[in-house]
């Protein structure tokens, strides 16, 4: 599946995306709100998993490239909330939206632009709701969530099951948005 916006092409992963995405996932600044940076091998496994989940579910996190240059800027997309995460969120949401962009693309409105397009897709296939979550201290990502119309739901704050207790990234917040046509 391919989605185009004014400046972006959101598309399935291609082999040419592996090295640039590995650089993005390997950047400590980009990954500062994740538990660790990813190796190229872990990035490849992540891409392979995304391809498989898109095949099974019809969607998953995909490559995001600049229309003007064809340069990979990162990933944006929808995904099923992993069972381990779903189990610790009180409302047990089903579908999340997310993004990871190279730092040279931050602050340009690209994450909200791509996320809005994915929300339009979510509504077109009848999803009733989409959530997003991040570490409580990740205010930049929360700002993107707010820009795309999501609202913070403190009742669904949770402790991330894969991050050790006491770690600054352990506490997570959840934002949600409902399908406006339902």
pLDDT at 98: 98
pLDDT at 112: 98
- The domain that holds 103 is classified in CATH as 3.40.630.30
**SS3 letters across 71-122:** CEEEEEEEEECCHHHHCCCCCCCCEEEEEEECHHHCCCCHHHHHHHHHHHHH
* 139 domain residue, yes or no: no
* 53 domain residue, yes or no: yes
* 58 domain residue, yes or no: yes
pLDDT at 110: 98
Burial of 141 (0-12, 13-18, 19+ CB in 10 A): buried
* 60 domain residue, yes or no: yes
Average pLDDT, the chain: 97
pLDDT at 142: 98
Condensed to tens digits (0 to 9), the pLDDT of residues 133-144 reads 999 999 999 999
pLDDT at 42: 98
Domain span at 71: 3-130
C-alpha distances (whole Å) from 33 to each of 40, 179, 181 are 19, 28, 33
Provide the domain count of the chain.
1
pLDDT at 7: 98
* 79 domain residue, yes or no: yes
pLDDT at 45: 98
pLDDT at 127: 98
pLDDT at 157: 96
* 155 domain residue, yes or no: no
Assess contact for 158 and 89: CB atoms under 8 A: yes
* 143 domain residue, yes or no: no
- Low-confidence spans in the chain with pLDDT less than 50: none
């Amino acid at each position: 599946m391919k989605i185009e916006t004014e400046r972006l092409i959101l598309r399935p992963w291609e082999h040419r995306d592996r090295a640039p995405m590995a650089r993005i996932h390997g950047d400590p600044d980009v990954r500062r709100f994740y538990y660790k940076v990813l190796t190229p091998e872990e990035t490849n496994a992540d891409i392979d998993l995304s391809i498989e989940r898109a095949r099974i579910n019809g969607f998953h996190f995909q490559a995001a490239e600049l229309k003007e240059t064809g340069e990979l800027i990162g990933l944006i997309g929808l995904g099923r909330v992993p069972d381990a995460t779903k189990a610790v969120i009180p409302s047990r949401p089903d579908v999340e939206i997310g993004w990871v962009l190279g730092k040279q693309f931050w602050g340009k409105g690209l994450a909200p632009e791509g996320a809005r397009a994915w929300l339009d897709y979510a509504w077109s296939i009848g999803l009733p709701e989409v959530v997003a979550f991040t570490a409580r201290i990740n205010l930049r990502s929360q700002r993107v969530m707010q820009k795309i119309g999501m609202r913070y739901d403190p009742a669904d704050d949770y402790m991330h099951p894969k991050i050790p207790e006491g770690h600054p990234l352990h506490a997570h917040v959840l934002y949600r948005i409902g399908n406006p046509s339902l």
